[in-house]
Chains A and B, each alone.
Chain A
């Protein structure tokens, strides 16, 4: 029979293995590569320290997204990192994204993507996050609501508004010119909603 500590550790390892890729994706969608690696490292550090409270099964990922969101907000506010973990991950992610995969250079992007990302940058923070969680992370409204700590009703309303705003911004021709530099990290998330 294993001890409670062993169970906790095994559970954490499983949570890490099962959620590392989606968490890295989440972070890379919202931060520059080196910062994204830090977000992943700190998020899992929180999870490690709070592993006895980490919810089970399908809720684990939502909980981790919620942690990552707060870590990211803290980072954008210029919060001092308390740990310096994951140096190797930081270097590796930065190198892979920036060089081998072409990086976030707008010159590598097709106009439609640029127009969409430019429009994204003009949404309110929560509207944008609801749309990202829905389309990029593939969450249902109830799941996005759990991540954002708002009601599912609020998520549905925000999603509808975000789509309407995107339509207005993109128009019928998505290949519109737009300013896209740093659009993914342009604004400081407003916490708590």
Chain B
């Protein structure tokens, strides 16, 4: 069953009947007037402020190609093996050690995030996301439990803190000397919110079943490190901004490029694991080829139509997609579109599915 078919089933099961709106007989207007006559001094349930930065962030991969990330990446071992900060020297080759990063952008981005790591054997990084953004997430796992750290701009702290007061009474805590508050969702689910420092605050939330003692122990094992050490602790599968072009070149080694496609112009696409990085890079190629196919078709340029269709169909052999196929559905989506094009049809929703730039 495809995602499209499943979504259709779910859509068909929607219990909402739009006709209800037309039969309210003015009740909605009466409610509006009631509400607007209420004094506005009392505080009621409210959410934290919206995360504008999240809305502004373009998705690297669209929903239909949502990643199922199974890769687990080692951090603590790296951290322990390389206790000294690494100099930011140029990366000589594409196969250079992952402990050396070249770009000033990578260092700057690292400096701007809280750079917290669980310095305890067995804990590994599972996901890094939004590394170069003003907000981001890094999640850790020890195989049984997860801890997700999300950082936000410091000026949003108040809204989040007020919201969490509705979860539980805050309990003071410190993480590597950084003061914060623990909130208890239930006996197995906890969070700690660190107060703003250097224009950033951090919220850590448990995943799976934890005990409070386990949570406190892991909090005690969290350390803040400098930018070089933080970058060094990221496993080589993570593509930092300074390595985008060289990694893109590897991804595109066996991929035919569309006319006028610049394989060095990916901008700052942040830090991604191989799957997300591959989807971003190969997605842009796919978008450009489909646009070229549409252009050529409209212009009656049969040779160009054929060239674009052939290029897309060759995607079944692209190494990047074959490698990604074990970890998620993006390649399947890509190939489905490619096959549609090869058959002469424009696939529905391809731009969203591939995560094409707006």
Contact = CB atoms under 8 A, between A and B. Distances in A.
B25 A192 contact: no
B192 to A, nearest CB: 13
Interface residues of B, number: 71
Contacts of B129: 151-153
Interface of A, secondary structure class, is helix
Contact of A116 (B9, B25, B42): B9
Given A92-B24, A93-B24, A152 B54 contact: yes
A179 interface: no
A63 B51 CA distance: 9
A157 B67 contact: yes
B31 A113 contact: no
Nearest to B41: A49
Contact of B20 (A9, A93, A167, A191): A93
Contact of A151 (B18, B20, B150): B150
A138 to B, nearest CB: 9
B9 A50 contact: no
Interface stretch (B32-40, B88-96, B248-256, B335-343): B32-40
B144 to A, nearest CB: 17
Interface of B: 1, 3, 6-7, 9-21, 23-25, 27-28, 30-32, 34-36, 38, 40, 42-52, 54-55, 57-59, 61-63, 66-69, 127, 129-130, 136-137, 148, 150, 163-164, 166-167, 185-186, 189, 191, 205, 328-329
25 contacts: A25-B18, A45-B44, A48-B35, A49-B40, A55-B52, A58-B55, A89-B24, A89-B31, A92-B25, A101-B17, A120-B10, A131-B10, A141-B62, A141-B63, A142-B57, A151-B150, A152-B57, A154-B148, A160-B68, A160-B329, A166-B10, A170-B6, A190-B189, A192-B163, A192-B185
